[in-house]
Homo-oligomer: A and B are copies of this chain.
Amino acid sequence: MGTLSALFAPERVAVVGATERQGSVGRALVDNLTAGFDGTVVPVNPNYDSVRGLDCVDSVSEADADLVVVAVPASVAVDVVREAGAAGVKNVVVVTAGFGETGGEGADRERELEAAAAEYDLNLVGPNCLGIISTPVGLNATFAPRSAPPGSISFLSQSGAFVTAVLDWAADQGVGFKDVVSLGNKAVLDETDFVATWGDDEDTDVIVGYLESIEDGRRFVETAREVTRETPVVVVKSGRTEAGAQAASSHTGAMAGRDRAYAAGLREAGVVRADSVQDLFDAARALAGQPVPETNGVAVVTNAGGPGVMATDAVGDGPLSLADFGSTTVDALRDRLPGGANVYNPVDAIGDADNDRLRDAVDIVLADDAVGSAVVLAAPTATIDFDRLAADVVDLQATHDLPVTTCLMGGERTRGAADALSEAGIPNYFDPARAVGSLATLERYRSIRDRERPEPTTYDVDHEAADAVLDRARDRNTTRLGVEAMPLLDAYGIPTPAGEVVGSPTDALEVAERIGDPVVMKIVSPDILHKSDIGGVKVGVPHEEVYDAYEDLIARARNYQPDATILGVQVQEQVDMDAGVETIVGTNRDPQFGPLVLFGLGGIFVEVMEDTAVRLAPVAEVEARAMTEEIQASPLLSGARGRDPVDREAVAETLGRLSQLVTDFPEILELDVNPLVVRPDGVEAVDLRLTIEPEP
């Protein structure tokens, strides 16, 4: 696809379906385009000689345009797009509705549209969208009632109405945009294309998005993880809650996918996820206007104790911590502030502080190496002039080049100051928590930008042996596998206890004699899911009982289900569970994001507490290790209750190897190792269950 910069900087824009009709989309498009566009606007409509004072052409092929906006009825829209493609146009925006979102005939029409775009290699936005905006060239190719104020935020939205709302609101709020795109049905271009384009765009400081789905999760992640090294991306992905997900899929007709997978995908992509519109634009404002901090230490400076305490509480809610001032700072503050002031963080310059005192306090703390960012709070007093304070903060922020936010606590009287701060890119809020939250967003982005992103390790594995296991299953015409598939794990270097599936009591005894005394014996059958419930598992079987145990297990299985397929009995080395921690490692496959790996503690921790960590597969070992630390029960792995710490590296390696297995074999739909026993000196996969795709 390459970059879409030409889409946002056309020279001649044709509006197909331009019309004089009051209230029509075609008329709004022409008006919006002529309002400020640097280039030429060409109305296309065979029924008019001119539209809104511009000469009109009969067909798109006569327009000689490099961007075509299609606003004709759905029934003829595809023809127009073909005609444009045939005429050599590369960039097309289809605002027309009546495609995939209506189902049935509309969906067919959307497939034709896609085919046309593919045939002519078109950059096509929409259909069923509001259009696009690019402020540097004054391009407003939308039918929104208002264009965007200029700025450095580029904005994509899966809801056209949300674009309209944001444009209307932004002008008031001092929020400005570089490019805006309403994605519509994403028949051709989707979020990934725009993230890629804006990642290469020097005039875009932040990418902001509202998404209800992500078309191709893997492609998005691969693109965004590169972009977010330099350009922050903030997204509201709706459908977070079950109710929301249902609403989203009925709105867009798209399968919304599971939020857990989205969370893992967005994390891997380095996207800052916002939960609400307010969070989204608070984050955008901070990232667009302020530098990224170099440490997570924040300084709080206030003329009022209460707001200082509220700000400090908010610091404790996020990834920031109160900076620990050096002695030079404390001494300088003590020199400058009166008795009764607090010279430690949060700095309270107290209620009679004038502008000079507050300014000096901010100046002093910003010079401290432990301070990565600062929040300045001021309640209205007789001695503080908000306009001067704003000017001082703007000046100090620029001098020290550290992120600063403010909380000027008042109404009308703070307006001018707030505008001056906004002009300088400094977020200002009445609520101390929002001012601190903006700094927290910058810190979150820092940790995303700076995190290690090594390639997942490629392990030396026995691919053929694994393939043979899956082949045998296919030969048996089964899709559910159990311990008989343990050789899969062996092939991929995941330690398993010694053991074998045998078909006779004599073989059982032979295996037992080889691997130790006592042994564990389990019935092996794809038809018996809950082996323990039917007495299909025997623990601590001494050699002298192995023969009888075999017969007994088979009898129980037959008794339980006479027609069950019985693959035999597994004879396994008895693992000392007490010396280790039982964990679960698992994988499954998400329609958008592909294979995921999961880690959690065994039994109730996963089942009842839902205490798990999830990542996209394949996972690098450093990320896999982070999974072992992310779960709430993590201290149990570190040797809580007087035990030795277990081998987290071995867990990480297992997650890595499992990742590789499910990446190598896409036919593995789900796989659970439960338990994976983790000890101070390594891991052992004791039980296994997996589901493979039926043969096509």
Contacts and interface: CB of A to CB of B under 8 A. Distances in A.
Interface of A: 23, 28, 102, 145-146, 157-162, 164-166, 168-173, 210, 212, 236, 238-244, 246-248, 250-252, 275-278, 303-310, 312-317, 321-322, 340, 342, 344, 346, 348, 351, 379-382, 409-414, 430-434, 603-604, 607-609, 611, 632-633, 635-636, 640-641
B158 A306 contact: yes
Contacts of A278: 430-431, 433-434
A169 B411 contact: yes
A276 B314 contact: yes
Majority secondary structure of chain A interface residues (helix, strand, loop or mixed):
helix
Nearest to A379: B161
A409 B165 CA distance: 5
A312 B250 CA distance: 12
23 contacts: A159-B306, A161-B303, A161-B305, A161-B307, A164-B381, A164-B409, A165-B304, A165-B379, A165-B380, A168-B409, A168-B412, A168-B413, A238-B310, A240-B317, A244-B313, A248-B309, A251-B306, A275-B317, A277-B430, A278-B433, A604-B636, A608-B635, A608-B640
Given A161-B304, A244-B310, 20 more contacts: A145-B380, A159-B304, A159-B307, A161-B409, A162-B307, A162-B409, A169-B430, A172-B411, A212-B309, A241-B316, A242-B316, A244-B309, A251-B309, A275-B317, A276-B431, A276-B434, A277-B310, A278-B430, A603-B641, A608-B640
Q: Considering residues A28, A276, A303, which has the most beta carbons from chain B within 10 angstroms of its beta carbon?
A: A276
Given A171-B412, A640-B608, A309 B433 contact: no
B240 A316 contact: yes
A312 B641 contact: no
A293 to B, nearest CB: 17
Contact of A315 (B210, B241, B633): B241
Contact of A238 (B306, B604, B608): B306
Given A164-B379, A604-B633, A310 B236 contact: yes
B313 A243 contact: yes
Nearest to A236: B310
B276 A433 contact: yes
Nearest to A159: B306
Contacts of A252: 305
A161 B379 CA distance: 6
Given A165-B379, A307-B161, A411-B168, A604 B276 contact: no
Nearest to A434: B278
Nearest to A339: B102
Contacts of A351: 160-161
Nearest to A165: B409
A247 B239 CA distance: 38
A432 B277 contact: yes
B640 A607 contact: yes
Nearest to A530: B642
B313 A168 contact: no
Given A169-B411, A314-B276, A340 B162 contact: no
